Amino acid sequence: MKILALTNLFPTAWDPLRASFNRQQFDRLARFHDLEVMVAVDFRERRRGPRGAPPVLEYARTSDFTFWYPPRIGRSLHGLAWYASLLAQRGARLRRERYDLLFASWGYPDAVGTARLARTLDLPYVVKVHGSDLNVQANHRLRRPQIASALRGARAVIAVSDALAGKARELGVDEDRVHLLYNGVDSERFHPGDQAAARRALGLPLDAPLILYVGNLKESKGCLDLIEAFPAVLARHPRARLAFVGGGAAGTALARRAQQLGIADRVDLAGERPHDQLPVWMQAADLLSLPSHNEGVPNVVLEAMACGLPVVATRVGGIPEVLPAHAGVLVPARDRAALGKALADALRREWSRGEILEQAGKFRWDDNVRRLDRILRDSAGPPSLP
């Protein structure tokens, strides 16, 4: 089939490290279909200029368009602005191409704009939802009906967690059109390794317990909760270290708070790292922590388990679906005291790496893409009779 994927969740020269999960999934899907990924680039990012090289893909093709919208106001108009931006810049080519299916990845504004485009081109479409597109965006009064309409009009809605699948059904999507499809892990890249060798490669102490955070540095990901919880860990593990791998607006606040707490010498702000450098950080660590306030199913949890790491995370979104007690600990979101205790306890606990790896083995990209392929093929055919 000829498929056009439309999303903001894909790496570009303006954001090279964005959404590695979609890069991995879409490039694998393109082994079976003629797949073009058209990426919405925020006009502010475009003005700032490229930050690196675009992704190197083996099978998929990529293009982009600039997403223009009124900043700070009019969020309820972003679906229309997304569609208008796309049509103004790429409309002629989109009308010439003979696509079989449109595939939107993200609920708002991407799915809302894609629904409009599908009506314009008279094409079926599928939507994949990820987390805060339904957990947050769909809670806004003027956005919720737009998202609900876009999902109800899709031939299929793919949710990366059962919790999100439930939210799609709450928005009125028929049960038989909602599909649960967890993301996968590249086991050739993410696997256990020699901890001492990984620490030497990163210049980290060989004998200090290491807690690792990987992700965007923003408040909703719980990184500020983690820095506040870390002194409780040091009270029981005085040599422990905390490493943040990622970039974002909260980076400055993290550095400042580490200084204020007197723990700056125990905190490493490693900055953004390419996806292929994450395994060595996971192999160097003793556990991964992701204390998010809301989530779908973050791939970093699956990748950490594939490296044999236990995970301390929050009981939000789809995380409880993939993180059993033998692979990690769940705590309430925003509960810094519970987080500190769980981290300290987890560093003392004897974990079974074999059981963690067995859990991680349930999430494979090959299985994921085979199921996705079936969903998309079924969705491109004639609509089912009521």
Distance CA 362, CA 347 (A): 25
Q: Binning pLDDT at 50, 70 and 90, where does residue 384 land? A: low
Verdict on whether the full-model pTM lies above 0.85: yes
Which residue type, as a one-letter code, is found at position 201?
A: A
CA gyration radius, the chain: 21
3-state SS of the chain: helix, strand, coil percent to 5? 45, 20, 35
Rounded to the nearest integer, the mean pLDDT of the chain is 95
Q: Quick one: 98 exposed, middle or buried, by C-beta within 10 A (0-12, 13-18, 19+)? A: exposed
Sign of CA dihedral 154, 38, 147, 91: negative
Burial 239-273 (b: 16+ CB within 10 A, else e): ebbbbbbbbbebbeebeebbeeeebeebbbbbebe
The enclosing H or E element of 299 equals helix 299-306
pLDDT for position 383: 63
CATH class label, 2-184+365-380 = alpha beta
Mean pLDDT on 87-94: 96
Q: Quick one: 220 exposed, middle or buried, by C-beta within 10 A (0-12, 13-18, 19+)? A: middle
Q: What does the pLDDT look like over 312-321, one tens digit per residue? A: 999 998 999 9
Nearest to 248 by CA among 221, 268, 275, 228: 221
Q: What does the pLDDT look like over 100-131, one tens digit per residue? A: 999 999 999 999 999 999 999 999 999 999 98
Share of the chain above pLDDT 70, in %: 99
The answer on pLDDT for 386 being more than 70 is: no
Q: Binning pLDDT at 50, 70 and 90, where does residue 285 land? A: very high
Q: Binning pLDDT at 50, 70 and 90, where does residue 82 land? A: very high
DSSP helix/strand/coil, 161:
coil
Nearest to 279 by CA among 380, 356, 198: 198
Domain boundaries, the chain: 2-184+365-380, 195-360
CATH topology of domain 195-360: Rossmann fold (3.40.50)
The answer on pLDDT for 381 being more than 90 is: no
Domains 2-184+365-380 and 195-360 share a fold: yes
